[in-house]
Amino acid sequence: MPSRTVTVGSAVGLHARPAALIAQAAGGFDEEVTLRLADAHPDDAVDAASSLMIMTLGAEKGTLVTVESDDPAAVDRVVGLIEQDLDA
């Protein structure tokens, strides 16, 4: 399964607005997209199409997050959002 690890760029971390934008993008793909803290067990991954689940990660600015999906385009899209400051 394709995966990439990225640094959270949003000043507020993966909280309300960034989480909602990421969830909206992830929900647009046919394949499931998951997120987890880079040092977490793969079983701790959450559904990236759920803003509430994203917020449960508690990922702050600078946190490393791993994005996984069977769809490489989905991984690229979500990684691109996570590394931006979406709350600017």
Active site residues: 15
Taking Cα atoms as reference points, which of 39, 19, 36 lies closest to residue 27? 19
